[in-house]
Structure 1
Amino acid sequence: MVKCCGKPETNDKGMAEEKKNKNKIKGALVLMKKNVLDVSDLKSSLLDRFHELLGKGVSLQLISAVHTDPAHSGRNFGTPEHAHTLQLPCVGTPRWSYSVSSLGLSPDSILDLLRVRPSTTNGLRGKLGKPVYLEKWVATKTPLTAGETKLDVEFEWDESMGVPGAFMIKNNHHSQFYLGTLTLEDVPGHGRLQFVCNSWVYPAHRYNHHRVFFSNKTYLPCQTPEPLRKYREEELVNLRGNGKGKGKLNEWDRVYDYDYYNDLGMPERGGNFARPVLGGSPVLPYPRRGKTGRKPHKKDPSTESRLSLLNLNIYVPRDERFNMVKFSDFLAYAFKSLFQVLVPEIAALGDKTINEFDSFQDILDLYEGGIKLPNNDTLKKIKDCLPWEMIKELVRNDGERLMKFPMPAVINDNRSAWRTDEEFARETLAGVNPVVISRLEEFPPASKLDPSVYGNQNSTITKEHIEMNMNGLTVEEALKGNKLFILDYHDALMPYIRRINSTSTKTYATRTLFLLQDDGTLKPLAIELSLPHPQGDSHGAVSKVFTPAVDGIEGSIWQLAKAYAAVNDSGYHQLISHW
């Protein structure tokens, strides 16, 4: 039946229903405006306000985690042809959802596709909400010192779009700002929703992509909501880079890419200072380092140029750099350290043994003496009122002495605490390279070096050396009870000891045995120091075993043995483990 008069009811109902489904979601965005050290950049703040008055504000759009929008579909970014037919299994999936043979591809080709990036999306993106702008940017006072600013925002959200799972932000200002969090209140069907961002957002024209942040909820790739998956994939591409980038990387780039070690040489100083590129070869693809974007060296294009000593202008993704307050604190420490180093260096000019400590007291003098800054409640209150972190650090009054290094905690109460076996074992376990400590499986420890080249390199540690300090256990009982552990650098260093000792630096290849005690601590049992045989490597090692001692010459030699073991531990960490 058709009515010939009156207003169409369907339109009224539709408009009413649409209005009913739309909600206002209030949000609060916490950010920090651009700053210099820990002082706000007032010039940038003024330019940002000018852009705001011209209508170039900061816009935000919510993205649905429930419904996709066909209007925003597109081809899969970076996905090779046919890759969209691959359906990768999720964790726990019992079988692949396709037959490799049915694709007409070899296993190697399948692996190549998987490396490029298989996609399980259909290219659809989550529905976008209506763009809204931050409120009261102009009216909000910019503090002198860098700090957080809280701004309100109100979104218009249709219940039919479901719960938002991400948001897109566009900075139309002159300057960047640090985006901390966005918190949404009373989200329909969810309640409170928080987005933890912790990222610098630069002006939109600096990017060739949108800045998208996701809610504080983690997913496995196969469990990521379909409307968010495309955004997740594109975010990963933006962070990875293409691995082929050359030239300068800018501060607003967000590339976490790797490069080979091609900056070890100094071609400008001649052939003796040339160094090979480490990494990138089929045999030795590693090590890798972070890409810096520095220019190739003028004399050797395969070598990356270096920066001057005091130049800190090296590319690091902006979100990974020190925040400005921390950097200000760092500069204050550097400024103090300059004087802490200069004073003993000037004093050493009249010393016959420059760059050497003549006694342990020379070491303690780095921390002791000097002027102790006053420490009372009044001065503390004055210090707390200072706005700048750098000044606070320079005038700290927590007992640290002026022009002196802070006293290490290990010797703060007892100047000889570092000499104990307990502290040696603790520092080994809690130090730079604890994962090298391994359970001893055979006694005496055997070498894996080729005996035809290096002769007999097996350990000379005997039961008589260690059983006297094993708390009543025998070697067999300790092995069976998993009580014996070893810090073994013998095989790693022995092939290089002769070359190292041909310089002014001297060292040994070390093996250190520990006993795991009932209280969970380690107890050093013996340290073996080894040198190459003077008649040639094929004659084996010349080794000597040292055991714990406290007094006399034996005690001093035991301290030296622990020092050589610690040197091996530190050097191995820097040259091998750290890479």
Structure 2
Amino acid sequence: MGFCPVSEMMQKVMEMFYTQPKTKAEGNEVEGRRKIKGTVVLMKKNVLDFNDIKASFLDRVHELLGKGVSMQLVSAVHQDPADGLRGKLGKVAYLEKWVTTITPLTAGETMFTITFEWDESMGFPGAIIIKNHHHSQLYLKTVTLEDIPGHGRVHFICNSWVYPTHRYKYDRAFFSNKAIKRNRLYILDHHDALMPYLRRINSTSTKTYASRTILFLQDDGTLKPLSIELSLPHPQGDRHGAVSKVFTPAEQGVEGSVWQLAKAYAAVNDSGYHQLVSHWLNTHAVIEPFVIATNRQLSVLHPIYKLLHPHFRDTMNINALARQILINAGGILEITVFPAKYAMEMSSFVYKNWVFTEQALPTDLLKRGVAVPDSSQPHGLRLLIEDYPYAVDGLEIWSAIETWVKEYCAFYYPTDDLIQGDSELQSWWTEICNVGHGDKKDEPWWPEMQTLVDVTQTCTIIIWIASALHAAVNFGQYPYAGYLPNRPSLSRRFMPEPGTPEYAELEKNPDVAYLKTITAQLQTLLGVSLIEILSRHSTDEVYLGQRDTAEWTLDSEPLAAFERFRRKLVEIENKIMDMNNDKRWKNRVGPVEVPYTLLFPNTTDYSREGGLTGRGIPNSISI
């Protein structure tokens, strides 16, 4: 299905192919130029207003004066360096025979033809800019391009009003079906999670929004923000929906300062969500029922206890400490993140949608729409963002853990009958489902714990959460978020409105206005100190692929399987270093050239030095 511009935000996304009020056509003649025929289906205003003869007459006058309906192709694959790296634009083309096409005064559609000049430098046209120079609006239904070289027929489903150009600050544009299907658009959506609490959050000293950010996947594999939607609850009640404003990139003047603030509000949302949900909830909190049930139901000699025990080291202690000084009422977290005293309540609200089986990395990537099933790929799926370090490295780690767990469990459970007859294992699983997750005990997604597949899946997810997932969301906090102006954790005032003193200040001294909006100095000191401590590895760290003692079991086959696991992790270490040194993968180092090593296993490190290394997957959640 094609892109339908049904909301202000999505319209702004379209506008981001060209944020200048006036577009410029490409005039260079190149080899490979050809004519592309197209058909445009629309409804004129006199059809929709039944007998608006004046509208029809004035539109024809504008046509005779050379003010018709124009369109331009926008390349989805080639950028124009002279136009801020926006999509390269083709020459302007006009709807043909508007004056001679008689539209009946009854409801109906009118089809027009249009001819575009296309050349090889354009590549695939992912969008069309339309300018309505008529007196009246028109309702654009579809645009179809015939025989695009290498792509065939390209269809745009529009279904939207296009008003005269003087009604718009920016041009109107529409995406093709194929552009959407090529998975170029992504959304960072914090709207639904935050909106139920936003009214209460903004009653505190926090003043913030629920944000959505649209990003475009560029040819070099990087994501470019196209627009940010900032929403507030409707003053007349939630039944009226949200009050939203959409902001698009700008670099100069007050518009550039407004865009900088919009990014700050989005970062505030993301920072708080990361700390409360991605970090605390999805690792520290959710692992607790498994730790408790393992210690209550499995003897220390049970094979599943031996498998999981290293991944629970110090977790309950660190969580107890967090409840005393970090996430407690009035604690450091409430002081330094935007939800303030509603932080834990909001985190609990998000937990209602937690599904155990979706914590498996492949399932998570598929659910979030950044991967698709593909049996020809090594891990059974294909990443839509090829240069996605967390996913690339994570799938390697996930696969290694899964193989190790399967080999280990298969040794002790060669048949499914042994699993079904293991009373300790069944009691363990019953407590996890019915007691540890009493609020979710009737969910259909729980594994039944009847087969080797069930045991392998369950233990792999538990180990993944306790080791790699926690490493990815915790140990990069200071390296990536230690400079608070780049990653503010809260906001203290709303976006300035034109005509207010705050807006005048933004125009005159944008840096001062920015600093008055984001995290205050004392909160910054507390927040940065916190994430620096959290990002440090301890000096007694035991990393994935390591054990406290080499003789943790006397069974030779599990020991051999563990050695294969260790060697696989060393291979992954080498692969990560090679990819970080490969200039093709821009996201692995970023513009400031900080290599992504959060999922570097560090299995080969026995130095026990600890500190702010930015690398290493500890066996357990211990900080």
What is the TM-score with the length of structure 1 in the denominator?
0.30
Q: Which has the higher relative contact order, 1 or 2, with Cα contacts under 8 A spaced 6 or more apart?
A: 2
TM-score, normalization by structure 2: 0.28
> Based on CA coordinates, which of the two structures has the bigger radius of gyration?
1
Q: Which has the higher helix share?
A: 2
